Amino acid sequence: MQLEKNYNPSAIEDKLYQKWLDHKYFHAEVDRSKKPFTIVIPPPNITGQLHMGHALDNTLQDILIRSKRMQGYNALWQPGTDHASIATEVKILEKLKEEGISKKDLGREAFLERAWDWKKEYGGRIISQLKKLGSSCDWDRERFTMDEGCNKAVEEVFVRLHEKGLIYKGARIINWCPVCKTSISDAEVEYEDQAGHFWHINYPVVGSDEMVEIATTRPETMLGDTAVAVHPEDERYQHLIGKKVLLPIVNKEIPVVADEYVDKEFGTGAVKITPAHDPNDFEVGKRHNLEQINIMNDDATINENGGKYAGMDRYEARKAIVEELDRLGLLVRIEDYNHNVGTHDRCKTTVEPLIKQQWFVKMEELAKPAVTALKKGDLKFVPERFDKTYLHWLENIRDWCISRQLWWGHRIPAYYCQDCGEIMVARKADAPKTCCKCGSHHIVQDEDTLDTWFSSALWPFSTLGWPDKTEDLDYFYPTNVLVTGYDIIFFWVIRMVFSGLEHMGEVPFDTVLIHGLVRDSQGRKMSKSLGNGIDPLEVIDKYGADALRFTLVTGNAPGNDMRFYWERVEASRNFANKVWNASRFMLMNFEQAEEAGISIDNVTLDDLTQADKWILSKANTLAKDVTANMDKYELGIAVQKLYDFIWEEFCDWYIEIVKPRLYNNEDTTKAAALWTLKTVLIQALKLLHPYMPFITEEIFCNVQEEEESIMISSWPEYREEWNFEADENAVETIKEAVRGIRNVRTGMNVPPSKKAKVIVVSESEAVRRIFEDGKVFFATLAHASDVLIQADKTGIEKDAVSAVIHQAVIYMPFAELVDIGEEKARLAKEEEKLHKEIARASGMLNNPNFVSKAPEAKIQAERDKLEKYTQMLKQVEERLEALNG
């Protein structure tokens, strides 16, 4: 049993991960004797590559699942990947373009063959990267959103919702990408601040000389205007409500309507209404029964409804329309205006809101139970502030566009009669061969596929076998916690919640743990355009997965963004080295003890010293606190407590405390020290394991032989018999004294090698007893040549320096700490140096040229220096006076 001299993550991580896989430690089967704990992975895209967001998200999940596994739960972390309709099509189209082949020329079946081949070749890349991170998913259960089981679930949901009237085909406003030529979800629209313009245009009032001034950022859409709206309480326009204005260029009369949607304070207070090209205008149009006129083709050129502008690109038409308005004298002015513009996250094209025939899910009925679930407490967000985001979205929900003009994805199970136009929705097994209305045999399936989110909305139950009533589904559903970033609450979390309630009758998880983004050291979002992204695999190669994981969790608070610093990764690596070296120290001492015939087999709690009980009691409390923090998803707080305990209490204090006992084979408490070292180290390793799985496994398997893996060992629990409050207080008193002594010595520049007599004075018998019991290690830590413990100041020299602690004063003879002659000479040099610095700073501050011309910050810096040097000089003079006394 031994550890290599230096900790080398690359030498152990892959080896240990393979060991876990070979032993199937990640695998979970139904076991009614255990309580299940289930997490479903947010399925990464098969086009994806591990980034810092993935690393954080999966580290948090792994911490939770590993801790619950150790706590005796039947823990299942369900993995899988998402087919990522648009992203995958883009990849395949890029490849086809290189070969000079178009999608249309290839045909649907051949295209899908290419897609499956691409998935086979590249789809597992991110899974292998998650394994490098240490993710303990049940890979035997890996699923794919387009596998046979998920496809069956998707088809079943579509048919059921259609039968209930909750899925329909109709014309509504959708997000349209003119380059990809498909509708896209809200999740795929990125809003970016762009410099644009407000074009102020006069619309003549019919039958008068009056004009209504409107302002728009998209003049080209005026070709599809069907009204001008004003607020019903806006006194400026009361007389115009119900009248008509002449739509410029089109020369068509359109009504002036009153609607509360209009903001009286924004712009001119009068807005053009284009129901076919704006989601808000669409709703206004429905309220006022306005005509819907689509003026754009799928490629964002103007269609036949645009008159003489037909065939022009939208921006070309915009320029021509503005020129025409100017020529007609109707262009009032052009105002610079920065506004959010929606772009497609894949191709970066500006998204066009269009009214199109698509498939939609009616959301009002489905949203209500999802609202109730949160308000009743069946669902909770961590942190709670995201309740508002969730409720706001649900309470203002619009029908969900679920059809996509793509080939890669779940094909919509709708069939059309080519003769009479009848639409039939059916499961694949029941696909109609003849029209149910006219009997025609000319039946074709809908060409479109479903939004990727439609299949991932079913993920918590489709992965467990639904719609079949499987044992897995009965046992592992509902799942326990979902871990995800705050940026996809709307797009995925909400859809899973209402889908779970609709199809399973229960929420899919009881808790949603929200984390923030990982930003760069300057607080910027990581992106390709900024070139500030950091590859987690690069970090792992350099520092190891444990160091990356530890860095991502340290200081992490639910819902908050964090900054990535390489210095923090180095600090995490240093912490791993500290744990490694402490473990090697323990193993070496066990080896020497074994050679000396010393065994820990018969050590009992009664054999422990005050210091042993102190650290054991601390470790006992740590187990309780860390567990409580983790149960509240305060993973950052928990890991900070672990760090502080291991680095400071265990390594810096306890190991130093026990060294005199370990180096002395005659010490009758040596076995107790060894037992305590091993017991506390194993406790700490187990608590640390979810955060740093690799190093803890390697050490654990070398410091004990009873258990084969830390992964399946038992989680530390609080034990009342390990509660030694009095001993804790006693050692904390000694630590306080040591810190006081160290501060005094540091202030006097006393080297660690210099020993001096230490006298503890306390009227309290209990305090004196504490120092008597801890005399051996206190002397070592205090660099004491001798330790005297007494009730009064008898025999203490006048020049002795002191450190005050609660109920005691610690004295050290001054002459034993420093050579008085050398100290006087050193202080005299320091005094001379400070006089020069004070003269220099005073001279600058008394120089009118400097004070009048230098920046204020520079002047203030000199004032601060003068104040600091003056205080330092006073201290040096006082010390010299005392020495010369």
Long-range own/partner contacts, residues 539-543 (CB < 8 A, 24 or more apart): 539/569, 540/9, 540/13, 540/132, 540/133, 541/10, 542/569, 543/9, 543/569, 543/570, 543/572, 543/573
- Residue 789 phi/psi, 5-degree rounding, is -125, 120
CB 231 within 8 A of CB 272: no
CB 472 within 8 A of CB 464: yes
Which segments of 717-800 does DSSP mark as H helices, in order? Answer: 725-747, 765-773, 775-781
Cα separations in angstroms, 528 against 51, 485, 525, 532: 11, 19, 10, 7
Closest Cα to residue 850, out of 838, 836, 840, 835? Answer: 840
CB 462 within 8 A of CB 149: yes
Contacts of 126 (CB under 8 A, 6+ apart): 44, 45, 46, 48, 49, 50, 54, 81
**Structure tokens belonging to residue 308:** 């003489």
CB 175 within 8 A of CB 183: yes
Q: What residue numbers does the annotated binding site for ATP cover?
A: 528
Strand pairing category for 562-563 and 518-519:
parallel
Q: What residue numbers does the annotated binding site cover?
A: 528
Cα separations in angstroms, 826 against 458, 807, 829, 832, 880: 76, 35, 5, 10, 10
User: What three-state secondary structure class fits 633?
Assistant: coil
User: What 8-state DSSP symbol labels residue 351?
Assistant: P
In angstroms, the CA 671 to CA 653 distance is: 19
In angstroms, the CA 366 to CA 497 distance is: 10
First to last CA, the chain: 61
- Residue 363 phi/psi, 5-degree rounding, is -100, -20
DSSP-assigned states of every residue in 799-862: T-EEEEETTEEEEE-HHHHS-HHHHHHHHHHHHHHHHHHHHHHHHHHT-HHHHHHS-HHHHHHH
Q: Fill in the amino acid letter for 156.
A: E
**Looking at 264-387, which runs of residues are DSSP E strands?**
270-273, 331-344, 352-361, 380-382
- Residue 871 phi/psi, 5-degree rounding, is -65, -45
